[in-house]
Structures are given as C-alpha cells and as structure tokens.
Chains A and B, each alone.
Chain A
Amino acid sequence: MNTINKRAPGRRDKVYFNKGRQLDLSAFEEAKKILDSYRPFKKDMLIEYLHLFNDKFHGLYAKHLRAIAELTKISMSEVYEVASFYAHFKIIDDDALPQSEVTVKVCDSITCFMNKSEDLYSQIKDSNFNARIEKAPCMGRCNLAPVVEVNHNHICNANLEKISNAIKTKDYLYKNDNFISLEDYRSNGGYELFKKLQEGTVTFDQFIKCFSESELRGLGGAGFPAFKKWQFVKSYKGPRLMCINADEGEPGTFKDRFYLNKDPHRFLEGTLIAATLVEAQTCYLYIRDEYYGLIKLIENEIKKLESLNIISKDFLVIRRGAGAYICGEESALIESIEGKRGLPRNRPPYVAEVGLFGKPTLVHNVETVYWIREIFEKGGKWFSSHGRNGRKGLRTFSVSGNVKSPGIKLTDAGITINELIEEHCGGMLDGHKFKGYLPGGASGGILPASLGNIPLDFDTLQEYGCFIGSAAIVVLSDKVDIKSIGLNLMKFFEDESCGQCTPCRNGTSMAVKLMEQKDWDIDLLNKLSVTMNKASICGLGQAAPNPLQCIIKYFEEDLK
C-alpha cells in the first residue's frame, strides 16, 4: 500500500492512501516493452498477453497483472479472473518472491498413474531440485508413461535420473519428431485440391456428396457427421468463422499430437478446405499449451504458406491454450479464444449459429480435417469400405495401458478390444491378465473383459453406459485396483470442472469424497450420478459419473 506522508484533515489521525492495488511504475514500463508490438490491444488476446509474461517471468506477478490491466484497459478483476482460471498461469501474489526458473510437472492422469507416477512425484519432491514441482493432467504421451514435463521438455518413461539430467543440462525444449516438409508434401500433390476448390473446379456439392458417402464423423468425440456440420454452418448468414480444436486433453488421447507432428500440411490443407467450404473469414487454431513445440512448428509452416501466397496473411491464427481440459468443449474453446475463462455455454443457440464473436462458427477436431484430402482423392466409398463387425470407416485408436506395444493404431472402426489387443498391440504384458478397458478416455466409462467383443465405434457403446469419444483406449489388467482407477478419474474431473454449474462443481468433489472411503455408499453415488448426468451444462459433468457407474455395474467384486 502506498502511503503519502501527510496527515489527513479531520479529527482522526488518518494517513492518506490510495485505495486498491496501485500501479507499480517499473512493472508498467516492463509491460509496455513486452506488449508494445501488440498495439492496438484487443480483449480477445488477453490469454496471449498473459502467456508472454508467464513465459518471461516464469509466473504471473501481481504487479504485472495490474500493469496489463492498465495498459490494455481490461478491468483488473477480469485479468485476474482469466489468469487464475488456467492451470498454466502461475500467479505469484508476492511481488518480491524470486522467480523459479524450472517447473517440473508430473502427469497424474490414468496411464501415468498406473505406471506409478505418484511414487515418482514423491521421489522428485524428496530430491531437492531447485524447481517448482507440480502434478499435472495428461500430456498426450500415454504410450510412454510415466511422463514428466521439465518446462516444455516432455520426458517419456521418466525416472529421477532423466529428470535431474534435464535440469542439469538445462534441456527445457519440446522435441518434435520428424515431419513431412512443405516441399515433400507439395511434390506429392499437396495443396492441389485446395487450389481447385478456390478456382471452382471442384464444388461444395461435390464435397457434400463425397463426405456423405464416406460417413466421416467428427473425430473429437461427439461424432457429428462432418458434411452436415458444413451444411448447417453455411446455412446461416455470414460472416462465418472457423476454429480447429487441438486442445486434446482427454486422458489417454494422443492421436491429434501424432497427426499434427507427422504431417502438418495435410492437416493445414484440410483446415483450409473446410474453411473455404463454409466461406470462413478467419480460422483459429486452438492448440493446447502442452504441445508447445507443435505450436511453434505449425506457426512456422503457416509462415511458409503465407510467403508462398497459398494463403493470405492472418487467415490462419494460432491461439495457445493454457492448460484447461474444459477448453476442449467447443463452446468453452470459443470463450477461450475470445480471451475469457473457458466456461461452456448453454445451448441453444448452437455454435454453428452463434459461435465465436457471435458469428456462425465451424468447429472441427484435428483428425477430422486431417482426413479431408485423402478421402476426397480416394473417394467417399474408399473410407466407408473399411470397418468390421457391421461398422464403417477408419478409426485412430490411442492405445495405452498394460499391453506389449501401446501407441497409435489406425484400423477399422468397429474392431473389438480383443481383436485390437491381439492384432495390433502384441497381446497383454507378460504376467498380466486382461481385466477391463476404458473405451474413450476418462469420460468414456470402463468396460470389463467379459464385454470384450463389442464393436468399438460411435453409437455401439451407449447401451453399456459408455462411449468411444476420442477413441482413447486404456487397457487394464488384473494387477490394477479398479477402485483407485475410478477415484483417479473422478479427481481428474474435480480438478478440471470449470465450476460454472452446481451439479458438476459440487457433484465431482462430493463424489471424490465418497469414493475415498473404504466402503462406497452405492445408493448415494447412484443418486449423485443421475443428478450430474441429467443437469450439468456440458459434457464434462454429464460424462463424469460414467466410470463410476461402470464400476458399480461391472466390477462388483472389486467393491467388496
């Protein structure tokens, strides 16, 4: 508090002081320097601004938040509200506190948890690294669990030695795998289809016909037919916008990271085609902050496209997430791009009608647009000719857990888990017996081995109280304690609930308390599940009781 050395008039010996948090002038100068190139300031860029400070000072100091508010003319409470919503922003209240340059984040989501990440966490805590040590949700490398992040560096199959090495050598960078370059992609006919669409040699109707034959559905989890989305969005009056959802937060899922890294231009061309189809003015790519290296990679490739005049400048805009699972929900993602907290919206209206900045918006998952070029070139029937057990199409499964070779498995939609384990994953680990599996990440529920012959696809799992979602398969063996798995998943939902609606905010934390007890109060948990499922605003709260319900239904033995 700044006091002015002067007595106030009046009877009491009051000292003059200015109310509220005062502007720190040196922090203001710092902020000016950092944000200068971003003028004129825009409200929707708030999260990007916060990232600049968070990266530079390894945290958000209160004095800087105050300075940002002053500079951008966004109210202080709003800056604080947004900064405190996102897990990757570390707010430091005490301005005098020194920076901690290194942050070690230990993944505590399902597969890493099964691979003893808890023990690793306490080992790291005990070994006195000069670093901030935190637990964090899924980092999208579940086939190589446990995963630890040292700043941006993802350390797979982590152990103490690897972590201390990374800290010693200051190895903080995110490492991308090899990818198909722009030259290679273009020499293989890349961006031809996009050009044809722009020139009008292929038409909207041709695309609709092809994709209704292909039966390509939204691969982010909801499974809404892609061509119908295009028709809907186009039917509303423009200007229209588009968003790409690369906020892959579902524990166990890593397919989007895989595709973005492997062939970024196939993804970008698909994005451009979809944007052109609905005549979007701008397309925002919302990529999660955990994939820092990928953000840089995509940014670089977009610059190349701009310099070759394949796209106009600022047509593709990258927005960096900030560690909120809920922003994978399309309306929360839109809120986040608008620079606000990621709170899902009440529907209707749907985002196809009133989306980003109030405009009709097309939101696609990474994998959905990734398929566009290949399906159009090979024909819609090619895609739907795949599939087994009466289902159609191809599906990318992110397999992790107790199998010999986990990883990305591209195969027929409708494959059963037994077939998947035997044909693609080299069987169960030695000494492990197949006990159950998560068909769709944390929210998709848990199925027992006895239901190992259900075709895995959209619509086939509903009757069992599950859904395939993003096709993140976690295989559980008899060595796993099912109750602790359920608790881990519920804790994840408790952490990631945005806190907007009561059934989800209070329901998840109440469920955690009930599930921590030795004997579960099944009646109460059932009632709670119904309330959460029926009354929550978005999919997070609605799906949070799925694993719990499945355990009660299918794993009675384990509850005794």
Chain B
Amino acid sequence: MVKFKINNKEVQGNKEDTIWEIAKSNGISIPHLCHSDEVGYKPDGNCRACVVQVKGERISKSFY
C-alpha cells in the first residue's frame, strides 16, 4: 500500500497501480486520451495528456 496526497486529499492504493488508477479509484478524474477501460485500449503513454514531473529528472514522465 502507498499513501500520498492528490489535490490535498489523502489517497491510497496498491504499489503496482499507476498514479492514474489510484486517482480514479479515489474519485479524482485526470484527463486522458490514449486509453480506455475497454479491451484493446491499453495505456500507451503517448497522448501525453497526463504527465508528471519527476524530481531530479529534466523531462516529464507519462503517468499512465
């Protein structure tokens, strides 16, 4: 289990989950285009609508 804050709201989820999934299961919707819950629409991380800044890295990472 991991715990962290999104928009000042305490959230938690499994370690294997992505930030996006944890946000969703906690009722926070993050815009996205590249995937859907349906079969065959796995997250590719190429629409880049959701990105995170990783501390110490120059470039943002997609957080699918």
Q: Which residue of A lies closest to B59 (CB)?
A: A542
**Max count, chain B CB within 10 A of own CB: residue among A502, A535, A536:** A535
Using C-beta atoms within 8 Å of the partner chain, give the interface range for chain A. Answer: 10 to 19
Instruction: Enumerate chain A residues within 8 angstroms of B61, measured Cβ to Cβ.
Output: 346
In chain A between 327 and 355, which residues have their CB closer than 8 angstroms to a CB of chain B? Answer: 346
Instruction: Enumerate chain A residues within 8 angstroms of B33, measured Cβ to Cβ.
Output: 502
Q: Does B60 contact A (CB under 8 A)?
A: yes
Number of B residues whose C-beta is below 8 Å from A? 12
CA of A545 to CA of B53, assembled, Å: 19
Are B48 and A503 closer than 8 Å at their CB atoms? yes
Q: Does A514 contact B (CB under 8 A)?
A: no
In chain A between 346 and 395, which residues have their CB closer than 8 angstroms to a CB of chain B? Answer: 346
Q: List 6 A-B contacts (CB under 8 A).
A: A346-B46, A346-B62, A500-B46, A502-B49, A534-B53, A534-B59
Instruction: Enumerate chain A residues within 8 angstroms of B46, measured Cβ to Cβ.
Output: 346, 500-502, 537
Are A346 and B48 closer than 8 Å at their CB atoms? no
Query: Binding site of B, secondary structure by majority: helix, strand, loop or mixed?
Result: loop
For the complex of A and B, list the 3 residue pairs with the smallest distance between their C-beta atoms, beginning with the closest. A535-B48, A501-B46, A346-B45
Determine how close the nearest CB of chain A comes to the CB of B9; give it in whole angstroms.
25
Q: Which residue of B lies closest to A498 (CB)?
A: B46
Determine how close the nearest CB of chain A comes to the CB of B60; give it in whole angstroms.
5
Q: Does B47 contact A (CB under 8 A)?
A: yes
In chain B between 5 and 64, which residues have their CB closer than 8 angstroms to a CB of chain A? Answer: 33, 45-49, 51, 53, 59-62
CA of A292 to CA of B49, assembled, Å: 40
CA of A501 to CA of B47, assembled, Å: 5
CA of A503 to CA of B45, assembled, Å: 12
Contact with B along A499-526 (1 / 0, CB 8 A): 0111100000000000000000000000
CA of A537 to CA of B62, assembled, Å: 8
Are B59 and A501 closer than 8 Å at their CB atoms? no
Q: Known interface pairs A346-B62, A542-B59. Does A537 touch B51 (Cβ–Cβ under 8 Å)?
A: no
Contact with B along A524-536 (1 / 0, CB 8 A): 0000000000111
A500-B46, A537-B48 known; 20 new pairs, CB 8 Å cut-off, are A346-B45, A346-B61, A346-B62, A501-B46, A501-B48, A502-B33, A502-B46, A502-B48, A502-B49, A503-B48, A534-B51, A534-B59, A535-B48, A535-B60, A536-B48, A536-B59, A537-B45, A537-B46, A537-B62, A542-B59
CA of A346 to CA of B50, assembled, Å: 14
CA of A110 to CA of B62, assembled, Å: 33
Q: Which residue of A lies closest to B64 (CB)?
A: A346
CA of A530 to CA of B44, assembled, Å: 22
CA of A535 to CA of B64, assembled, Å: 13
Determine how close the nearest CB of chain A comes to the CB of B59; give it in whole angstroms.
6
Q: Which residue of B lies closest to A535 (CB)?
A: B48
**Max count, chain A CB within 10 A of own CB: residue among B46, B60, B61, B62:** B46
Determine how close the nearest CB of chain A comes to the CB of B12; give it in whole angstroms.
24
CA of A503 to CA of B47, assembled, Å: 8
Instruction: Enumerate chain B residues within 8 angstroms of A537, measured Cβ to Cβ.
Output: 45-46, 48, 62
Q: Which residue of B lies closest to A346 (CB)?
A: B45
Are B51 and A535 closer than 8 Å at their CB atoms? yes
Determine how close the nearest CB of chain A comes to the CB of B1; give it in whole angstroms.
22
Instruction: Enumerate chain B residues within 8 angstroms of A502, measured Cβ to Cβ.
Output: 33, 46-49
CA of A96 to CA of B57, assembled, Å: 54
CA of A537 to CA of B45, assembled, Å: 9
Q: Which residue of A lies closest to B50 (CB)?
A: A535
CA of A537 to CA of B61, assembled, Å: 8
Instruction: Enumerate chain A residues within 8 angstroms of B49, measured Cβ to Cβ.
Output: 502
CA of A13 to CA of B62, assembled, Å: 54
Determine how close the nearest CB of chain A comes to the CB of B16; give it in whole angstroms.
15
Instruction: Enumerate chain B residues within 8 angstroms of A534, measured Cβ to Cβ.
Output: 51, 53, 59-60
CA of A502 to CA of B50, assembled, Å: 11
CA of A534 to CA of B52, assembled, Å: 10
CA of A504 to CA of B46, assembled, Å: 10
CA of A346 to CA of B49, assembled, Å: 15
CA of A501 to CA of B34, assembled, Å: 10
Determine how close the nearest CB of chain A comes to the CB of B27; give it in whole angstroms.
25
Instruction: Enumerate chain B residues within 8 angstroms of A542, measured Cβ to Cβ.
Output: 59
Instruction: Enumerate chain A residues within 8 angstroms of B51, measured Cβ to Cβ.
Output: 534-535
CA of A503 to CA of B46, assembled, Å: 9
**Max count, chain A CB within 10 A of own CB: residue among B33, B45, B53, B59:** B59
Determine how close the nearest CB of chain B comes to the CB of A537; give it in whole angstroms.
7
CA of A288 to CA of B11, assembled, Å: 50
CA of A326 to CA of B47, assembled, Å: 18
CA of A536 to CA of B49, assembled, Å: 10
Determine how close the nearest CB of chain B comes to the CB of A511; give it in whole angstroms.
16
CA of A502 to CA of B61, assembled, Å: 14
Q: Which residue of A lies closest to B47 (CB)?
A: A502
CA of A115 to CA of B56, assembled, Å: 43
